[in-house]
Structure 1
Amino acid sequence: MQKDQLFTRRRMLLAGAAALGAAGTAGIVVAAGGEETGRTAAAPVAGPQARQALKPSAFRLQPLTGDAPPRAVPRRLKVRDEPVLRISGGGRRMVLTFDDGPNPEYTPHILDTLAKYRVRAMFFVCGECVVENRELLARMADEGHVVGNHTWTHPLLTELDRHEIRSEMESTSDAIEDAYGQRPQWFRAPYGAWNRAAFQLGAQMGMEPMAWTVDTTDWMEPGTDTIVDRVESGAAPGVVVLSHDAGGDRTQTVRAIREWLPYLIDSGYHLTVPARRA
């Protein structure tokens, strides 16, 4: 897409926002172009699934109804038994992912750093944050980032019934489409807690499930140096890195990416995103 077209789309999205007034497991190897190439065993990884489920806070909005039909009919996918954990495609390729946003205090700084080094990433967003920060999704679209579904209120899916899971997922996809311009093609379960319903519903909505290989542990606020060390020591071809741009104080995350991103690039890594399906 040409640059002027991108800016036009962003202006349209921003205009819409103003008008509305708001807005581990075994790994499945997927090629950068989205083609499944096989399976590879991987040890369980630590992550935010170790945290207790967050109680809805005062600012959290109630999920929109999941009963209404989607605006666009998604392409149904094969139901997986496990989430995507790594990518392949040759060379020293890695994927950077950020969960729980967007957040107006931290997400812009992360986007600035990615833009400085001309790197694209994936953002798994929560619907309640999307409606308050639609302009950030418009910017993600303009700058070529991939936006995935991370539910509306970040619940523990294993404690919800099927109807509640559908509502969380479907309402978030609607909000993403409104702000980003396209429905998401990737889904990540909060806390890394997957169940059969999440896999089935995600496939029905045209979304592949994605987990991660390396957890930066930034959600624990362990210190900038620890976050940097986890990324640099965990770097390897096919790795999916988990970070967060919301859900707490992410000052350490913002500082750390300014250190580890140029290190990865200087080390010969190509930071990529999965290709969108036609």
Structure 2
Amino acid sequence: MNGAHLLHYAWFAVRGVQALRPRPGRGRLGPVFGVEGHAVALTVDDGPHPDWTPPLLDLLARHGVRATFFLIGDRVRERPDLARRIAGEGHALGNHSMTHPHPFAALAPAALEAEIAGTQEAIERATGVRPRLFRAPSGNWSPRVLRAAAGHGLTPVDWTVNPSDWRAPGTERIARALDRSRAGHIMLCHDGGGDRSQTVAALAHVLPRLRARGLTFATPPGRG
């Protein structure tokens, strides 16, 4: 097993520890795993999607929640209007690669650079905003991925609460997982890659409950 694979599996253990004691990452290149204060961060991957991004944005607006959308470059090129809407409604934009390839850490250096640089260009062209945050597809980190992100001034962001909503396990199961979020946690959800109606429905239940517990919503911190 090479160093990239060892680091990838090590993040699973780190996520478990951070779920118990979430704090922003402190390593020079390592991912951020938490937010400060009595806040949680809602992060949304794999969009924008014409069916699921608009209702999710409507929901977030109703509850006054600011999220971080990790966008796929090809999907931004297809729907720049949705990327502009996300930015215009005050949400943070993150880079989630151009095509979401698997395994991301196994890409050749030139392909890795193209995935990150192309997404930076696509998002900035569509919205006028240059992302400062990056999430590797499937959290597939490696030393080379981390260095490539740093080369673009991007802060890598991981997560501490994963409801596996991409599997569409049911609204109740997604909601139960998200309900376990507490101060400092980064929640992982999706608005692309499939039918995300369960995710939107689960968040409709969870967001007011988190608010009722006194939690606020923040975006993961950049290091730049």
**Alpha-carbon spacing, 1:86–1:275, altered in 2? closer, same or farther (3 Å):** closer
* Rounded Cα–Cα distance in structure 1 between residues aligned with 2:78 and 2:28: 32
**Alpha-carbon spacing, 1:81–1:266, altered in 2? closer, same or farther (3 Å):** same
2:31 counterpart of 1:83: yes
RMSD: 2.1
* Rounded Cα–Cα distance in structure 2 between residues aligned with 1:264 and 1:43: 17
Which residue in 1 is equivalent to 2:176? Answer: 229
- Residue 35 of structure 2 contacts residue 219 of structure 2 at CA under 8 Å; is this kept in 1? no
Query: Which of 59, 67, 72 lines up with 1:113 in the alignment?
Result: 59
* Rounded Cα–Cα distance in structure 2 between residues aligned with 1:277 and 1:182: 17
Query: Which of 140, 158, 163 lines up with 2:86 in the alignment?
Result: 140
* Rounded Cα–Cα distance in structure 2 between residues aligned with 1:82 and 1:276: 12
Which residue in 1 is equivalent to 2:3? Answer: none
Structure having the larger proportion of residues in helix: 2
TM-score, reference length from structure 2: 0.87
Compute the displacement of 1:179 (Å). Answer: 1.1
If asked which structure has higher relative contact order (CA below 8 Å, sep 6+), I would say 2
- Residue 79 of structure 1 contacts residue 200 of structure 1 at CA under 8 Å; is this kept in 2? no
- Structure 1 unaligned spans of 5+: 1-23, 28-39, 45-77
Which amino acid is the alignment partner of residue 66 of structure 2? R
Query: Which of 183, 188, 204 lines up with 1:242 in the alignment?
Result: 188
**Alpha-carbon spacing, 1:244–1:217, altered in 2? closer, same or farther (3 Å):** same
Compute the displacement of 1:80 (Å). Answer: 3.6
User: In the TM superposition, what whole-angstrom CA distance separates every residue of 1:103-130 from its partner, at most 9, and x where no partner exists?
Assistant: 0000001100000111100000101100
- Structure 2 unaligned spans of 5+: 1-11, 21-25
Which residue in 1 is equivalent to 2:41? Answer: 95
* Rounded Cα–Cα distance in structure 2 between residues aligned with 1:108 and 1:182: 20
Which runs of at least 4 in structure 1 moved beyond 4 Å after TM superposition?
A: 275-278
